[in-house]
Structure 1
Amino acid sequence: MPEYIKHPLIKADTVEQRLYQLDLAGKALDVSTLVVLPTGLGKTVVCLLVMASRLEKLGGKVMVLSPTKPLVEQHASFFKNVMNIPEEEVLTFTGSISPEKRSELWKTGKVIISTPQVIENDILTKRISLENVTHITFDEAHRAVGNYAYTYIAEKYFETAKNPLCLGITASPGSSDEKIAEVCESLHIESVAVKTESDSDVKPYIHKKEIEWKRINLPDEMKEIKDLLNKVLEDRYKKLTELGYPIYNKRFVSKKDLLGLQTKLQGELRGGMPDTSVYSAISLLAEILKVSHAVEITETQGLEALRMYMERLDNEAGSKSGSKASKRLAEDLYIRQVVHRLKDCDLEHPKLEYVKDIVLNELENKPHSRVIVFANYRDTAEMLTKALAEVEGIRPVRFVGQASKYKDKGLTQKQQVEIIEQFKAGDYNVLVATSVAEEGLDIPSTDLVLFYEPIPSEIRSIQRKGRTGRKHEGRVVVLVTKGTRDEGYYWSSLSKERKMQSNMKELQSAMPARKNNSIEEEFMLDSNGKDQKTLFEYDDNNESKPENKDNIKIVVDQREIRSSVARSLDRNGVEITVKTLEVGDYILSDRIAAERKDTQDFVGSLIEQKLFEQISNLSRAYEKPILIIEGESLFNCRGINPNAIHGTLSSISLDFGVSIFYTRDPEDTAALLQQVAKREQVDEKREVNMHGKKAAAMLPQQQEYVVSSISDIGPKAARNLLKHFGSVENVMKASYEELLDVNNVGPKTAAKIREIIGSEYKR
């Protein structure tokens, strides 16, 4: 009979006593700690023990942050079941709860489980304060890198809380010392506590996990299709070389190499007036990346997945906003041969038969088994689900993320939760999943995990394998196509996993006895603990927030808090106020407001004909409007002709009187905004004024808007049409021949106008 944890804040007979969990909790109560524990061994219980101790001794609130809404709900259900506090004091915060409601709930909650983005937004908008939060757990802590919300929340927590202590929990922190160090620094972690499957106190809870690697030959017909694609690559590599950008060792060039060259080319674009060869090279590189992806799909996924990809490529080429790269590829002789071969070829990747045989064999031998099949791509997941559904006894379901794209609708988080519940209940016995099923979700103990292909990431590989061997013996099968990228990913993943295990052992061996011995008494257990390795020492004086000596204020549009600009402004000591603005993204004074657009957004707004309306509103509402273009690939977005971008920028500056600034990234944007605001508010003694509203468009602008709403007609063509015919009505009445008399209106545009205006409306 198992013994159970005894604690005033934990319900009796609900949480089994495990020595290693008590040991880890004891270490995590000493200092802010990163706990590394294999999947399925109860990281959430360690979190519970630390939370209960902090609540009993210090009161206040405790918080658990988890990356997704399903994970948040999963954790909330666990804590409500085992914690001896009123259920109404255990709260979930997600985007589906209104900000006003969250603000009210915050006052009464003791245990808050939330997605990090929600907490980040509520801190920025000053709806909540972390002053009385006595503990934060960062679930899946390996995410705490770069601009992820965990980084900002930890920074604000240690800046404002009276008694801060945090716990990071993960099964796989990464193979590099640099990655682990970045996570620790981001979360203000001072020590690392590690348990591995080989530890004596963990071994009793570990079940055998058999791992098999099945190597498969690529059929000749698929090799022929791959050879056609390689001919396209060879041609594009040759053209790149002729432009002065040779690709060495073409046979082994990686995506990382290609992206590195892309970054170099974009740097040359920013360096003044680049040679036209740079634009050509960037466009060629876009083609190479697309074809290289098609080769990988052929080698590792199969022809059905390749068909879907080629169909999307063809759809992109035929669309108005399609890139030049996709249009040129659609016309390429070898690509057309590939498409033709795909129509006539009934062959599928031999992996598909292996998947059906392995899954069927598992379910026939163990009828109550649960199986997860992992695939890197949604198209493959769709293909596998359909193929498995044709086999009697297999009840598969596709499990993918939320994003939707052409002919591929994602799953909402509610649908994801429903599918997991049906999988648990046995309505489905096979989950065909992409990466969304790798991390943390409460998927039941699985008897078989099947990798359709290896993955080079050690973190993702470990998480996938962790889906089996939890409550009983499990099995992992990885399919590898010989002589393809599968083999490269296989060796890469193995190497990184071994390095991570080695790093973890080194960390563990460097941990002397800990100082905190109260955990045994508190939870009624006797354990032998070790101390932990201190990674960082913090100087409180160096960690303080910059003072806002000049009392600089900036009003930020509500939608802009999704970017990290507002976070950077706050870090820099600027007093930010978040409002819903009708005009602009940032208000810096009574006469200056700024519209921020990253390069993708700028080009997207131009294509969708929203840009000039936004700029017009900004210029009418503020005396000195600013446009900030953020990013380094303006002339490489969506295949737009550089002349069109130069023309747009000229019009924004000369016709609308808007000042244009270029920044590298959100941090650079924040620095610029701060300097402009300082100049206005400190040097010029101006107040911040939110007077800006969308001014009613004048009649000529309204007329131009009506005409330019017709497909293929831009602002310039609309003005030419109106000048020529004198009114909107006359434009609409004009014949095809009369339209051709207008400057910049050719046969195609004239035909389009007549088709739209003269065709019968049918819905």
Structure 2
Amino acid sequence: MEEIFTKIKPREYQEKIFLTCLERNTLIVLPTGLGKTLIALMVTVQRMKDFPGKKVVFLAPTRPLAEQHLNYFKKNLPELFASMELFTGKVNPPERRKIWQTADIIFSTPQCVANDLKNRLYNLNDVCLLIEDEAHRCVKNYDYTYIAASYKQQAPTGIQRIIGMTASPGSEAQKIKEICKNLSIEEVELRSRISPDVKGYLQELEFEKIIVDFPEDFNKIRLALQKIIDNYIEELRARNVLFGAVNKIKLIELQRSMMASISRGNQNFGYFSAVSACSQAIKLQHALELLETQTLDGVNKYLKGLFDQASKKKSKGVVKLVASTEFNFIFEGVTELIAKGREHPKVEQILEIVKREKQENKNVKLIVFTQFRETAGHLSKKINEISGVTSKVFIGQAKKSNSKGEQTGLSQKEQKNIIEDFSNGKINVICATSIAEEGLDIPEVNAVIFYETIPSAIRAIQRTGRTARLKKGKLILLITKKTRDESNYYVSRSREKKMTSAIETVKKDLINNSRGLSEKNPQKKLF
């Protein structure tokens, strides 16, 4: 191993996890930036030594991430060590079959390999190592699950080895068990920033929580929005399709369920009316979320978008909604606030934070995370008004229509250019959506700023991992009082704590299952 790794030296915890991976199918739970890919590289080298002529398959959920892993391997392995190839949908199937036959290490998205397996372009019978990055996705019918099942069926038991990697598998023991079952995991290697063998390699993480008041004139609009939402909720209850507590997710699930029933032939007129009521309630819930946690500019654009839908007769429900006195009161209230130059107080806080950090460090690098593209664009525009600061929006490749009907989305080349400019200091601040959470090789930053809190422990851990690795860093949270910002903050913290205990429970179950198998079959190996 030492003769191969001349450029890098593994850390103590990486070596420990590596040894576990050699012996058992392992789920690696390690925060962003702590070297999961190096562990995967070390295991790859050893497996290829132990099984000459066999292949390694390294899967990542997006093409840029798969390509990033390929580049990391090429950078850190001798040139002639192995033939490494990137599989993409742009390469036609016959060509992929040829590449498969000659490649030693294949990097791909799960969709590409799953489709090839279903079309029987090749099989996995000569794969000695399957690596699935962002393994928290290995649930239900995601392609990771299908590929892992195919691997267990096609490859000889004696050469099988599976590694799952994630910053967080979630906080529910049942979900973690499902991931472990789907990947045939025998051992979970969990580390956090405070683990004894990890914390010595990390720098101090300063935590700052900034709480802002929800303005009273914003609250008047919120109450009006909530009143219309309540009317739609009461209609759904009266039609006996909605029960119990209500939130946006529950409404979306109800809408999906009713649409499925209609598609199966349900011609109940009441169902059609309920679907319309549910659809308008979801729209208004989204407007409420924007008002509470995002920007007034975003609310205004969204409401204008609903007027546009009505003018185009997109649905009778939206036509009726925008014609209502209550809706027009809301729109006029928002318009009046914007005319007065008002904005959500978190916007001003972001600008103050950027100014402060820039004064403290002229070479500062910041990431502002937000849920929505519209918000990222608005914040980036405002930040660029600060002297000496350059900001860019960093969003996914998917083309989506914004409130003006314009197509937004960055190509892979545009994403790479932004990361490069951020690395060399041409850009100080990136305003990013969730695309910057998973894996991408974004340089370490001086501070990570959550424009809004999120209830997901997985995403919170991934975001936080962007700072305080090789140098001191800050985690700054913006929270608006008496809004979902507060509840999301406490939910996320609770889930992070719950994740650790849930993983420990699963680890104990794996150990007990292993002992049970050993007692029943003392000569039988578990892998």
Q: Does 1:228 align with 2:224?
A: yes
Q: 1:536 to 1:398 in 2, by over 3 A?
A: farther
* CA distance in 2 between partners of 1:303 and 1:481 (Å): 14
Q: Does 1:207 align with 2:203?
A: yes
* CA distance in 2 between partners of 1:535 and 1:280 (Å): 57
TM-score for the superposition, normalised by structure 1:
0.63
* CA distance in 1 between partners of 2:517 and 2:377 (Å): 50
Deviation digits for residues 131-174 of structure 1 (CA, Å, limit 9, x no counterpart): 11111111111111122111111111111113211100111011
* Equivalent in 385, 388, 392 of residue 383 of structure 2: 388
* CA distance in 2 between partners of 1:265 and 1:423 (Å): 46
Instruction: Decide which moves more: 502-511 or 444-453.
Output: 502-511
> How far does residue 463 in structure 1 lie from its aligned partner after superposition?
0.6
* Equivalent in 336, 356, 360 of residue 328 of structure 2: 336
Spell out the pairing of 1:286-305 with structure 2 (5 A cutoff).
Answer: 286-305=279-298
> How far does residue 282 in structure 1 lie from its aligned partner after superposition?
2.0
Spell out the pairing of 1:609-688 with structure 2 (5 A cutoff).
Answer: none
**Which secondary structure does the structure 1 equivalent of 2:408 belong to?**
coil
- Give the letter aligned to residue 15 of structure 1: I
> How far does residue 284 in structure 1 lie from its aligned partner after superposition?
0.9
Spell out the pairing of 1:112-127 with structure 2 (5 A cutoff).
Answer: 112-127=106-121
* Equivalent in 17, 26, 41 of residue 19 of structure 2: 26
- Give the letter aligned to residue 342 of structure 1: V
* CA distance in 2 between partners of 1:336 and 1:430 (Å): 37
CA contact (8 A) 1:192 1:533 kept: no
Q: Which residue of 2 aligns with 1:593?
A: none
Deviation digits for residues 162-218 of structure 1 (CA, Å, limit 9, x no counterpart): 321110011101101111111111222222122233332212212211222211111
Q: Which residue of 1 aligns with 2:163?
A: 167
> How far does residue 270 in structure 1 lie from its aligned partner after superposition?
7.6
**Which secondary structure does the structure 2 equivalent of 1:345 belong to?**
helix
Q: Does 1:158 align with 2:152?
A: yes
Q: Which residue of 2 aligns with 1:307?
A: 300
Q: Which residue of 2 aligns with 1:430?
A: 429
> How far does residue 84 in structure 1 lie from its aligned partner after superposition?
2.3
Question: How many residues are paired up?
Answer: 510
Q: Which residue of 2 aligns with 1:499?
A: 498
> How far does residue 124 in structure 1 lie from its aligned partner after superposition?
1.9
* CA distance in 2 between partners of 1:482 and 1:330 (Å): 29
More relative contact order in 1 or in 2 (CA 8 Å, sep 6+)? 2
* CA distance in 2 between partners of 1:388 and 1:84 (Å): 44
Q: 1:241 to 1:169 in 2, by over 3 A?
A: closer
* Equivalent in 347, 359, 363 of residue 364 of structure 1: 359
* CA distance in 1 between partners of 2:307 and 2:316 (Å): 12
> How far does residue 274 in structure 1 lie from its aligned partner after superposition?
5.5
Task: Tell me the percent identity.
Answer: 37
Spell out the pairing of 1:483-562 with structure 2 (5 A cutoff).
Answer: 483-505=482-504, 534=514
> How far does residue 317 in structure 1 lie from its aligned partner after superposition?
2.3
CA contact (8 A) 2:128 2:160 kept: yes
* CA distance in 2 between partners of 1:273 and 1:226 (Å): 36
Instruction: Decide which moves more: 46-55 or 266-275.
Output: 266-275
> How far does residue 413 in structure 1 lie from its aligned partner after superposition?
2.0
Deviation digits for residues 249-302 of structure 1 (CA, Å, limit 9, x no counterpart): 6xxx32233345446655765897664223212211111111111111101112
Q: Which residue of 1 aligns with 2:418?
A: 419
Q: 1:432 to 1:87 in 2, by over 3 A?
A: farther
Q: 1:385 to 1:273 in 2, by over 3 A?
A: closer
Q: 1:410 to 1:537 in 2, by over 3 A?
A: farther
- Give the letter aligned to residue 376 of structure 2: A
* Equivalent in 266, 274, 277 of residue 281 of structure 1: 274
TM-score for the superposition, normalised by structure 2:
0.91
> How far does residue 245 in structure 1 lie from its aligned partner after superposition?
5.2
- Give the letter aligned to residue 160 of structure 2: P
- Give the letter aligned to residue 60 of structure 2: S
CA contact (8 A) 1:80 1:87 kept: no
- Give the letter aligned to residue 107 of structure 2: I
* CA distance in 1 between partners of 2:198 and 2:244 (Å): 49
Q: 1:415 to 1:268 in 2, by over 3 A?
A: closer
Q: Which residue of 2 aligns with 1:78?
A: 72
CA contact (8 A) 1:35 1:170 kept: yes
Q: 1:303 to 1:51 in 2, by over 3 A?
A: same
Q: 1:46 to 1:536 in 2, by over 3 A?
A: farther
* CA distance in 1 between partners of 2:234 and 2:11 (Å): 62
Q: 1:107 to 1:266 in 2, by over 3 A?
A: closer
CA contact (8 A) 1:191 1:533 kept: no
**Which secondary structure does the structure 2 equivalent of 1:450 belong to?**
strand
> How far does residue 537 in structure 1 lie from its aligned partner after superposition?
6.9
